[in-house]
């Protein structure tokens, strides 16, 4: 079959954008370049793989898991069902962290820990952008850490990777703590494709969705250097609740809540005074 024939076949089963994305990944080209290959004959093994994966997508499996990777901050990261799929909002967390890091710290020789690292995308991107950072990636899931290690190896970055319940088993103290922790309420309604595919351990955080923030904020009091910053991604309705938790656990801090590009409260930054 030709590229055009496979696109038509894919569009008859699933959303056309996903069909093109999948075929582009199998052909190792950019999806925008497919138009240049419409008349090209596709090898039988690629045709078979395409049709098999189309069937997976038709069963409501996320395309990132089907393809096996995701683009985050311009970099390709390996991803599978043991890790949360990185989202655009988390790119904004990284972007704002970079801005505040420049404003708040005089040096870039900082100790940073990425809690609940999953694929490792947050910590690895920060390490790539600022090589002088002493970066530690932490997750409680051994399967997620395997993916983080694969991504670390693929990018050739020197970081420490540890299994721990957030900071519980992590030695030393840090200048920066960054985390996109689970923050969905136990009985909260979420998209079916997310609920049925992504790991629940990376999604849910107790009855009110705040358990992970409670744990991190309680643990971090003895893990922070004198001058510090904590960067959290939060649910869009959690600003007030997370702020109250912060003031219960930490003294003499400044808190800044940032909106995402959709105008929703999605990030909280905590600074030592």
Strands (DSSP E) along the chain, which ranges?
69-72, 75-78, 111-115, 134-139, 160-163, 174-179, 224-233, 253-259, 265-272
Q: Which residue ranges form the domains of the chain, and what is each CATH number?
A: 3-59 (no CATH), 82-272 (3.40.50.150)
Residues ≥6 apart with Cβ < 8 Å to 4: 38, 39
Structure confidence at residue 33 (pLDDT): 84
Q: pLDDT tens for residues 113-129?
A: 999 999 999 999 999 99
d(CA 136, CA 126): 11
Q: Per mean pLDDT, which range of 27-31, 62-66, 231-235 is the poorest?
A: 27-31
Say yes or no to pLDDT of 61 above 90: yes
- Residue 3 CA to chain centroid, in angstroms? 32
Say yes or no to pLDDT of 217 above 90: yes
- Return the SS3 of 9: helix
Q: pLDDT tens for residues 80-120?
A: 999 999 999 999 999 999 999 999 999 889 999 999 999 99
pTM: 0.92
Q: pLDDT tens for residues 127-167?
A: 999 999 999 999 999 999 999 999 999 999 999 999 999 99
Say yes or no to pLDDT of 262 above 90: yes
Segment 26-48 mean pLDDT: 89
Structure confidence at residue 108 (pLDDT): 87
d(CA 115, CA 70): 20
Structure confidence at residue 199 (pLDDT): 93
Burial of 97 by CB count in 10 Å (0-12 exposed, 13-18 middle, 19+ buried)? buried
Contact 120, 114 (CB under 8 A): yes
Residue closest to 119 by CA, chosen among 139, 99, 103, 98: 139
Structure confidence at residue 35 (pLDDT): 83
């Amino acid at each position: 079959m030709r590229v055009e024939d496979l696109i038509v076949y894919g569009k008859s089963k699933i959303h056309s954008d996903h069909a093109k994305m999948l075929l582009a990944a199998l052909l190792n080209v950019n999806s925008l370049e497919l138009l240049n290959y419409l008349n090209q004959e596709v090898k039988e093994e690629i045709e078979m793989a395409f049709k098999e994966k189309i069937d997976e997508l038709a069963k409501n499996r996320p395309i990132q898991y089907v393809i096996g990777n995701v683009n985050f901050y311009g970099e390709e990261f390996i991803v599978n069902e043991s890790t949360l799929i990185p989202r655009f909002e988390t790119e904004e967390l990284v972007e704002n962290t970079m801005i505040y890091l420049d404003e708040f710290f005089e040096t870039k020789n900082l100790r940073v820990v990425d809690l609940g690292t999953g694929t490792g995308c947050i910590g690895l991107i920060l390490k790539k952008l600022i090589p002088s950072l002493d970066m530690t990636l932490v997750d409680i899931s051994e399967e997620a850490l395997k993916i983080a290690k694969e991504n670390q190896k693929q990018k050739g970055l020197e970081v420490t990777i540890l299994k721990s319940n957030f900071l519980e088993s992590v030695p030393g103290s840090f200048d920066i703590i960054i985390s996109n922790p689970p923050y969905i309420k136990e009985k909260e309604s979420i998209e079916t494709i997310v609920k049925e595919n992504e790991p629940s351990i990376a999604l849910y955080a107790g009855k009110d969705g705040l358990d992970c923030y409670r744990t991190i904020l309680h643990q971090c009091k003895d893990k922070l250097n004198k001058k510090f910053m904590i960067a959290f991604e939060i649910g869009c309705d959690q600003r007030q609740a997370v702020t109250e938790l912060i003031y219960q656990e930490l003294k003499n801090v400044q808190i800044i809540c940032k909106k995402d590009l959709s105008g929703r409260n999605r990030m909280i930054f905590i600074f030592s005074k």
